[in-house]
């Protein structure tokens, strides 16, 4: 199995030396592993020169099927490890800044009180990260419930609202139609709203409105503060502003309009059907408790 892993690292890295650097071993050790694999199979897998490398037909066939085979073996190992009595290990998580500040940080603390043998590293960043390339066990984001190469678990429903402070609406007027937004100061999130076009649905009819504003931020909490201070209209996740809406500090703009946005808060991981036990434990804890914090019922399993 180790020789197969080394072979896949060479394929992905493009050379023996690059694979050796990634694995933290000598190039000669990588070459030895490849030679053992080729000897065991009885066929050459790579054609190498001092400057280039290419897969043979046999190597290409193995490279196409090896990832799924490795995942199956890893799943088998994970099942064997679960015979232990305690959940232990580490979970490295990438999550959005504001969601973490408001909900994931306290939930993570509660989880660790219940599972003290687990270690969680929570890295906050609003940009989407590749869990495989950047070494994360889980990536939590807003998004659809499908992904080409990662496993997706729905944690909670997500929705976006247009909102402003009463002071701003008193000063600038209240939009009556989606097109009115183009005449207002509309503040945008750098990652979630990079195009400057807000997609809105009115009674089944889609409107795409080009908006402009004098402030653009990459932090949902800071964007909310600007809206609270009366700077303009914000396009924000409901979970960020639900308390302010409830107490009247903010008012929904065009409340009958559906803001088209990713439908769920999701967790993505690269582990197939059986993620490691600490990852699964943390994931199940979030799925059970995050909807409750957001005032929702749990997502169907």
Which tens digit of pLDDT belongs to each residue from 197-208? 888 988 888 888
What was the pLDDT predicted at 84? Answer: 39
Residues 6+ apart with CB under 8 A from 78: 271, 274, 275, 276, 277
Cα 293 from chain centre: 20
Q: What is the CA radius of gyration of the chain?
A: 25
What was the pLDDT predicted at 30? Answer: 87
What was the pLDDT predicted at 74? Answer: 74
What was the pLDDT predicted at 154? Answer: 93
Cα 42 from chain centre: 42
248 dihedral zone (left: phi>0; alpha: psi -120 to 50; beta): left
Tell me, yes or no, if the pTM score tops 0.75. no
Residues 6+ apart with CB under 8 A from 236: 160, 161, 163, 189, 220, 223, 224, 227
What was the pLDDT predicted at 85? Answer: 37
Which tens digit of pLDDT belongs to each residue from 225-272? 999 999 999 999 999 999 999 999 999 999 998 888 778 899 999 988
Ranges of the chain whose pLDDT falls below 50: 83-86
């Amino acid at each position: 199995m180790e020789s197969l892993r080394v072979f896949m690292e060479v394929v992905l890295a493009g050379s023996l030396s690059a694979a050796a650097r990634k694995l933290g071993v000598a190039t000669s050790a990588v070459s030895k592993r490849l030679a053992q694999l080729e000897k065991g199979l009885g066929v050459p897998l790579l054609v190498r020169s001092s400057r280039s490398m290419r897969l043979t037909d046999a190597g290409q066939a193995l490279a196409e099927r090896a990832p799924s085979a490795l995942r199956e073996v890893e799943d088998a190992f994970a099942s064997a490890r679960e015979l232990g009595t305690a959940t232990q290990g580490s979970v490295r998580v990438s999550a959005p800044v504001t969601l973490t500040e408001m909900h994931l940080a306290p939930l993570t603390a509660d989880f660790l009180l219940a599972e003290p043998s687990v270690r969680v590293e929570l890295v906050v960043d609003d940009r989407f990260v590749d869990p495989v390339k950047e070494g994360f066990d889980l990536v939590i984001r807003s998004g659809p419930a499908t992904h080409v190469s990662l496993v997706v678990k729905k944690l909670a429903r997500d929705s976006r609202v247009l909102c402003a402070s009463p002071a701003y609406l008193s000063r600038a007027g209240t939009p009556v139609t989606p097109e009115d937004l183009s005449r207002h100061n509309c503040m945008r999130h750098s990652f979630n709203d990079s195009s400057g076009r807000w997609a809105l649905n009115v009674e089944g009819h889609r409107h795409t409105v080009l908006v402009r504003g004098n402030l653009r931020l990459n932090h949902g909490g800071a964007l909310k503060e600007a809206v609270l201070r009366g700077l303009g209209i914000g396009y924000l996740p409901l979970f960020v502003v639900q308390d302010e809406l409830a107490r009247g500090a903010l008012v929904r703009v065009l409340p009958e309009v559906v803001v088209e946005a990713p439908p769920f808060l999701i967790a993505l991981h690269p582990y197939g059907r059986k993620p490691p036990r600490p990852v699964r434990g943390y994931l199940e804890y979030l799925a059970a408790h995050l909807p409750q914090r957001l005032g929702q019922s749990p997502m169907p399993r």
